[in-house]
Structure 1
Amino acid sequence: MDLLLQALRAAGEQTRLRILALCADHELSVTDLIQVLGQTQSRVSRHLKILVEAGLLERYQEGQWARYRLAGQGSVIPGQAANKSGISLARYILQNIDMMHPVFRRDHENLTRRLDARQQRIQQFFRDNAPKWEEMRTDLVDQPAIDAHIRKLLLAKPVKHLLDVGTGTGKALLDLGPSIGAGIGIDNSFAMLDIARTNIEESSLNNCQVRHADMTQMPYEAETFDTALVHMVLHYTEAPAQVIGEIARVLTKGGRVLIVDLVRHDNADIRTTLQHVWSGFAEDEMADWLTQSGLTVEDRAEFTGGKLTVFATLAVKDGA
């Protein structure tokens, strides 16, 4: 009863209702919320503290930043006990909020503009750095070891139709193309795709192609691909869980996805310089997203040879 009363008191304030609505679909920083709500840092931080203590929101530290998300959307944050009353109440409140009310609609529009502006900065970064992208990546991680691991895992079984999500310069297609039936790489950076097309044509890989597409809404029917690769991409997207869900949708039953990305780190300079949205991911966090999308983890490895640690998680779609 005490936990429920605490959650009810926390939710009974307009700004905190607005914060709950904003965190329903996004994991946001204090800065994000300050910009959207138009309030001071001290006020927003106080509201967030109340919501976290009441179990309506979860907070986790990411380097110098802290992100907030609706309670119960993923694994329990270490050191934070789950408040089932808060989780249930948060979901009930969101189900009954009129998102078309002028206040909530304006907040949503402001957040959309902020997220769009961030993605535009990322796209400009890719345009500026596309020609030297592979060289930049090699400086950060043990790319030869990662590439060898990708080949070993994905080619351990026949690959009929490969989807390379966030293909970039098409390097994975170049490496895997001669050993697979067909491959499609998608990316939302035209600059990267120009380089990828040139690389594929010069390599005479007639079984591979690249397309401009949004990885959160892929233009493919369900169960189209038996294999998918997501190589150092998720830390650039606002909604990694949504991307994983979309990959699961287009995978055949028994299909495999290999996710290669950064282990969560606290190097703020690298994150800022390379325009990363996320400072990597925790193992249990990634496992939860995969499970929620109907994927079962079969293998995980880590590579520590560069400035940052990289994980490679192989998961299989249930129902084969």
Structure 2
Amino acid sequence: MNHDADLFHALSDPVRLRILYLVREMELSVGELAQTLAQGQPKVSRQVKLLIDCGLLDRRKEGNWVFLRLGNRALVEPLFALLDRWAQVHGRNPWLAADAARLTAINAERSAEAAAYFATHAAQWDRLRGLHVATQAVDRAILHALGDHPLGQVVDIGTGTGTMIELLAPRANHVIGIDRSPEMLRFGRAKLLEQGITNADLRQGDMTALDLPAGSADTVVLHQVLHYAHRPATVIAEAARILKPAGKLLVVDVAPHHREELRREHAHTRLGFADEEVLACIAAAGLEGRVEEQLAGGELTVTLWSARPLPARLRAV
């Protein structure tokens, strides 16, 4: 098989070029592509397969959904540099403007779904937030704990609808948000698109077994997620695994409490954490931890713990 011939064959069809331009803007399912292109889903699936086979597109499974994203950067980036230059000289294909308009409609549909979901759950979330200090105070404490320097490659474990991504993306090179719930990720993706946050990538995953390389993150955040974990030490160990040697882990959760309804009604596995327990988990993961701040002011106290990898000479002792 001639890979060069396959690549140029894939680029020879205008529909396949339109697909590449659309996926460049945002991750899309085959159904959404078919809707945007006004073509049948089987036909679009065949075109997508050709693009995947030559490395220009990649598939990402999320629950029952499969999303398409750009593939091999070594292929894709030079290709778009050439296409953009061609458009500057010869003008853009009129199909692309029509596709962009339909893509805007899909964005609006996603945003409407997200708004309906948030409206349905707003009262419940407001009640939960009312149990502890105001969100703005927690956000300020998080930014203070992370310091003034750029955050680099950020991983937000248990991202939910992307609240931490909204806070941290302006100071990050790139943010990966990971959550087990496809529904939450779908709504989070719509919210981030609506706000114009382009340096973020939301993925489905398990916080105890992250599909990320060791030593790949400058900053890792566990924000109000540890109380859902059956094995908190495993979650912290996995966060430690992906930290770079000079990276930083920030854990934000509640101190011990007796609100049993949070276990019954909101699936909280743990009713908060004592400092010594979190710090012991951090130490067991080969990190050096400290209590950054405790925020009282409601029925629940929010605690921030930070951690950094120990120097290699100390880990070996």
Q: TM-score range by the shorter chain?
A: 0.5 to 0.7
Aligned to 1:181, the other structure's residue is in SS state strand
Residue 171 of structure 2 corresponds to residue 172 of structure 1 = no
- Which residue of structure 2 lines up, in the alignment, with residue 227 of structure 1? 219
Q: Is the 8 A contact 2:292 2:306 kept in 1?
A: yes
The amino acid across from 1:274 in the alignment is H
Aligned partner of 2:126 among 126, 135, 155: 135
Whether 1:277 aligns to 2:272 is no
Q: What code does the residue aligned with 1:225 have?
A: A
Contiguous gaps of at least 5 residues in structure 1: 1-125
User: Could you tell me whether the CA contact under 8 Å between 2:176 and 2:202 is conserved in 1?
Assistant: yes
Tell me the distance in 1 between the aligned counterparts of 2:304 and 2:237. 18
Quick one: which amino acid aligns to residue 210 of structure 1? L
C-alpha distance in structure 2 between counterparts of 1:276 and 1:167, whole Å: 16
In structure 2, what is the equivalent of residue 153 of structure 1? 145
Give CA-to-partner distance per residue, 1:8-48, whole Å, 9 cap, x none: xxxxxxxxxxxxxxxxxxxxxxxxxxxxxxxxxxxxxxxxx
- The answer to whether residue 202 in structure 2 is matched with residue 210 in structure 1 is yes
Give % identity.
33
Query: Match of 1:75?
Result: none
Contact 1:254 1:318 in 2 (8 A): no
Name the SS of the counterpart of 2:130 in structure 1. helix
Flag the 1:127–1:311 CA change in 2: closer, same or farther, 3 A.
same
Q: Does 1:289 align with 2:255?
A: no
Deviations 1:97-127 (A, max 9, x none): xxxxxxxxxxxxxxxxxxxxxxxxxxxxx99
- TM-superposed deviation, 1:133: 6.7
Shift of 1:273: 2.1
Shift of 1:137: 3.8
Query: Shift in Å at residue 158 of structure 1?
Result: 1.7
Task: Indicate whether 1:313 and 2:308 are aligned.
Answer: no
Mapped partners of 2:154, 2:141: distance in 1: 16
Q: Where do residues 4-23 of structure 1 align in structure 2 (5 Å cutoff)? A: none
Distance 2:206 2:123 in 1: 23
RMSD: 2.2
CA distance in 2: counterparts of 1:260 and 1:189, whole angstroms: 20
Q: 1:268 to 1:189 in 2, by over 3 A?
A: same
Give the Cα–Cα distance (whole angstroms) in 2 for the partners of residues 271 and 291 of structure 1: 27
* Higher RCO (Cα < 8 Å, 6 or more apart): 1
- Give secondary structure in 1 for the equivalent of 2:276: helix
Task: Give ranges in structure 2 of 5+ residues lacking alignment.
Answer: 1-116, 313-317
2: CA distance, partners of 1:237 / 1:311: 17
Instruction: State the Cα deviation string for residues 55-102 of structure 1 (Å, max 9, x = none).
Output: xxxxxxxxxxxxxxxxxxxxxxxxxxxxxxxxxxxxxxxxxxxxxxxx
Match of 2:294 in 1: 302
How much does 1:129 deviate?
A: 7.1
Question: Does the aligned pair in 2 maintain the 1:162–1:184 contact within 8 Å?
Answer: yes
Name the residue aligned to 2:229: 237
Could you tell me how far apart the structure 1 residues matched to 2:181 and 2:263 are?
19
Q: Tell me, in whole angstroms, the C-alpha distance in 2 between the residues paired with 1:138 and 1:267.
A: 14
What code does the residue aligned with 1:311 have? Answer: T
Deviations 1:242-281 (A, max 9, x none): 0000000000012101100111112223332222111111
Q: C-alpha separation between the residues in 1 aligned to 2:263 and 2:288? A: 30
Q: Once superposed, which parts of structure 1, at least 4 consecutive aligned residues long, lie more than 4 Å away? A: 126-134
Query: Secondary structure at the residue paired with 1:289?
Result: helix
Decide whether the 8 Å contact of 1:262 with 1:310 is kept in 2: yes
Given that residues 291 and 303 in structure 2 are in contact (C-alpha distance below 8 angstroms), is that contact kept between their aligned partners in structure 1? no
TM-score by length of structure 1 reads: 0.57
**Structure 1 residue 128 displacement after superposition:** 11
Alpha-carbon distance in structure 2 between the residues aligned to 1:133 and 1:165: 22
Residue 131 (structure 1) shift: 6.1
Any idea what the Cα deviations from partners look like across 1:201-259, whole Å, max 9, x if unmatched?
11111111110000100000100001011001011011110000000000001210110
> Could you tell me which amino acid in structure 1 is paired with residue 296 of structure 2?
T
1:144 and 1:134, CA in 2 relative to 1: closer, same or farther beyond 3 A? farther
8 Å Cα contact 1:235/1:276 also seen in 2: yes
Counterpart secondary structure, 1:167: coil
